[in-house]
Structure 1
Amino acid sequence: MFSFSDTGRCVWVNGPVIVGAGPSGLAVAAGLKEQAVPFVILDRADCIASLWQKCTYDRLKLHLPKQFCQLPKFPFPDHYPEYPNKKQFIEYLESYARHFDINPQFNETVESAKYDEACKLWRVKTIYPNGCEVEYICQWLVVATGENAERVVPEIEGLQNFGGDVIHACDYKSGENFRGKRVVVVGCGNSGMEVSLDLCHHDAKPSMVVRSSVHVLPREVFGKSTFELAMSMLKWLPLWLVDKILLVLAWMILGNIEKCGLKRPSVGPLELKNTQGKTPVLDIGALEKIKSREIKVVPGIKKFSCGMVEFVNGEKLEIDAVVMATGYRSNVPYWLQESEFFSKNGFPKAPFPNGWKGKEGLYAVGFTMRGLSGASADAMKISKDIGKVWKEDLNQKKQKVPTHRRCISTF
């Protein structure tokens, strides 16, 4: 470590810098720990997995069985249910960090990361809430900020004049504060469906905006996880056929959802997930509430006015609150100064399974659009790849620290 002033310092990192202390970053760190590779893991929040701890609703459970959501080399406890809840999953992640002795540096926001061609190293600049700045110099950079780093809030005409409560789903905890209120939920993905269901359970009156088509599948088929069934079929059948089978099973169990105002996409659920990253809704009860009219399905919004919303079909509805279940996006373009490996939308340009490794020691984890299982697979590849080079460098006694100190400067 090299200190240069009271407000800024420069730090040499023998191993990689990992940006993000969510499940993806923790998985990479665990793999590096097992190989005795040093690293620094940074996070802008004050805890691990801040998205799970701070930006999720109380009733949240894993949508997939636990065996598809566990991180490398650390299974869920046997006593956990098949679908662990929010609290259990956070406890699992905290146990994971303790087990592998992972200690992230919190409250440290990465402002920029750039590869220095002159000294062939990465420069990662961060800032603390008190204004103190740090620059990390490293050979490897692991981007683990994930697909859901920043909330997406669409601009809708008149919203500033609405006058009622407007929140994003990341700030929604439960429907307790919405009892008796008329609430518009913008979005019909898993979050939109579950927020609407939770509002029903708290005696609110939700209307769910459905602007486009959506796949709704039962979470289980004849007592077996739909996802697990799909993965098993994919071992023997082509994807298009598995999609056909899933849709037939969905029709048998859920019925014709188009009668409820939910139009299915022309592309099958698995193909749509793989090509566009759009996850099918795994129904846990919202569809019954839609059928019983307890959740009202409404079309796209044209504009808001004081205490009212107008839809594209001309219908108007008096409402008290709005919940934006409009999703998230990557924040990589805001801080990573690189354009060859990452695209403008903040995702690796190369599709899965080739989007984990770039050039000059750059890696990405948590961008596969395949959930925790995809993140775990890439994390193992990354830690093994870095570990291999690390061991080769040790064996050849060519550690980079002395030869590159000349490149370190203040900022």
Structure 2
Amino acid sequence: MDYLRELEGKRLHDRNPNDTMMMKSCKYICVPGPIIVGAGPSGLAAAASLKEKGLPSIVLERSHCIASLWQLKTYDRLRLHLPKKFCELPLMPFPEEFPTYPTKQQFIQYLEDYARKFKISPIFNQSVVSAEYDKVLEFWRVRTVGLKREETEYVCRWLIVATGENAEAVVPNIDGMEEFGGPIMHTSMYKNGGVFRGKRVLIVGCGNSGMEVCLDLCNHNASPTLAVRDTVHVLPREMLGKSTFGLSMWLLKWLPIRLVDGLLLIVSSLLLGDTARYGLNRPQIGPLELKNLSGKTPVLDVGTLAKIKTGDIKVSPGVQRLTRHTAEFVNGNSEKFDAIILATGYKSNVPSWLKEKEMFSVTDGLPKRPFPNGWKGERGLYAVGFTKRGLLGASIDAKRIANDIEMCWKQESKHCSSI
């Protein structure tokens, strides 16, 4: 514990002498194993993988529950977009009785059962405000703030960043938002279309969330319009009797990615028709290659396209500006709306708290090295949940991290025992 006393002395020396209240409220905790920041699926996967190897860890979570994105910021009709076999966390499959595409409630139940099975007990309501490597002590110093503004500083040898790609909602600054006069919300605040019954609703963004919210609004007798600024690949969720994702993974074992993309687009055209006829122009790059290059996920259609074809869902180009209950589009047309829903996605928040410039990009908060090499940094820093490959990618990285830390743990234990 000498290094902890040294740290505390250094902290007291560095404090402003007038800041006595803060000094008294800050406590220091030495963690023998890794600290995991984030209790979402990625953080749980890392903790379970470590537990399976007999390695202790502490999970810090800013919310009051595990998987806060799923529990607090998703709409009611949400299901896993991929079959459950591609979304399992390490060491525990989904229950056999679950459907191929589990519901939001079933996935949350799976995660809660997962945490219980591996005895993962996150420390909740702990917002990490900074994490910095101390070169003198050769440890990470992770500072948190609780609900009552109390400070805690954790000291650890290994730091696992598990806050993921979807930590913060992306809210675009559309010209005239303050003039619109009606409700404007991000999909993170949307639950179902019941409150929009009979209303004209503009959905900005045409990813999976935007498409599903449109369908949900339709089912609640609202009148949705989808504003599409960019090109988008829309694929059927299943083709040739298999999940599109599963079929793609199988084909990639034998064929180059561009040939697989070509096959996917041919089958999609046969099943869905020419989506450009309905205002959904496809990118020039195929869906899998585009996913690898930019992380942009193709839309897996669950019925929205049929509603677009019948005119129940309108498609418009991107929004130019907003005025009083009106949206003006880039093609010069305008239309009245009662509400706007922003299906504009999420972003990483890592640059706001991690004081490290080598592993993570300060621009987008993602590891600079792409999958499969973005999971490990320097000086005991790791990342899980940033692969742009969903839960499958997070599980792969969680197991790699646990193996690496186990090797370091054994080497350091052997070194200490020989002294």
Name the TM tier (shorter chain).
Answer: over 0.9
Match of 2:388 in 1: 369
Q: Deviations over 1:47-74 (max 9, x none)?
A: 0000000010000000100000000010
Q: Select which of 214, 239, 246 maps to 1:221.
A: 239
CA distance in structure 2 between the aligned counterparts of 1:127 and 1:398, rounded to whole angstroms: 37
Residue from 105, 125, 134 that aligns with 2:123 = 105
Q: Percent identity?
A: 58
2:49 pairs with 1:31:
yes
Q: TM-score, normalised by structure 2?
A: 0.94
Partner Cα separation in structure 2 for residue 398 and residue 336 of structure 1: 33
Q: How does 1:243-262 map to 2 (within 5 A)?
A: 243-262=261-280
C-alpha displacement at 1:308, in angstroms? Answer: 1.0
Which whole-Å deviations, capped at 9, do the CAs of 1:329-360 have from their partners, x for residues lacking one? 00000000111111121011111100000000
Structure 1 segment 261-276 matched on structure 2, within 5 A: 261-276=279-294
Secondary structure of the residue aligned to 2:416 is coil
Structure 1 residue 191, shift from structure 2 partner: 0.3
TM-score (normalised: structure 1): 0.95
Q: Distance in 2 between matches of 1:223 and 1:6?
A: 64
- Aligned equivalents of 2:249, 2:55: Cα separation in 1: 34
What is the CA deviation profile of residues 168-195 of structure 1, one whole-angstrom value per residue up to 9, with x for unaligned ones?
0010000000000000000000000000
Of the candidates 86, 103, 111, which is equivalent to residue 104 of structure 2?
A: 86
Which residue, out of 375, 391, 401, partners 1:356?
375
Q: How far off is 1:29 after superposition?
A: 0.2
Q: Deviations over 1:297-354 (max 9, x none)?
A: 0111111111111111111111100000000000000000111111121011111100
Aligned residue in 1 for 2:319: 301
1:396 match: 415
State the Cα distance separating 1:397 from its structure 2 match: 2.8
Structure 2's unaligned 5+ residue stretches are 9-22
C-alpha RMSD over aligned residues: 1.4
Mapped partners of 1:37, 1:129: distance in 2:
29
3-state SS in 2 of match to 1:199: helix
Aligned to 1:133: 151
Look up the SS of the partner of 1:137 in the other structure: strand
- Report the equivalent of 1:409: none
Distance between the aligned counterparts of 2:376 and 2:45, measured in 1?
A: 16
Aligned residue runs from structure 1 range 41-60, under 5 A = 41-60=59-78
- For residues 89 and 124 of structure 1, the distance between their equivalents in structure 2, rounded to whole angstroms, comes to 30
SS in 2 for 1:342: coil
Question: Which region of structure 1 is more displaced relative to structure 2, 124-133 or 31-40?
Answer: 31-40
Map Cα deviations across residues 191-215 of structure 1 (whole Å, 9 max, x no partner).
0000000000000000001001000
Alpha-carbon distance in structure 2 between the residues aligned to 1:322 and 1:355: 36
Structure 1 unaligned residues grouped into runs of 5+: 404-411
Alignment of 1:124-273 (within 5 A): 124-273=142-291
Deviation at 1:293, TM superposition (A): 0.8
Provide the C-alpha distance between the structure 2 equivalents of 1:46 and 1:265, rounded to a whole number of angstroms: 41
Deviation at 1:393, TM superposition (A): 2.2
What is the CA distance between 1:394 and its match in structure 2?
A: 2.4
- 50, 70, 73: which one aligns with 2:88: 70
Q: Deviations over 1:202-240 (max 9, x none)?
A: 000000010010000000013210100000000000001
Residue in 1 that maps onto 2:14: none
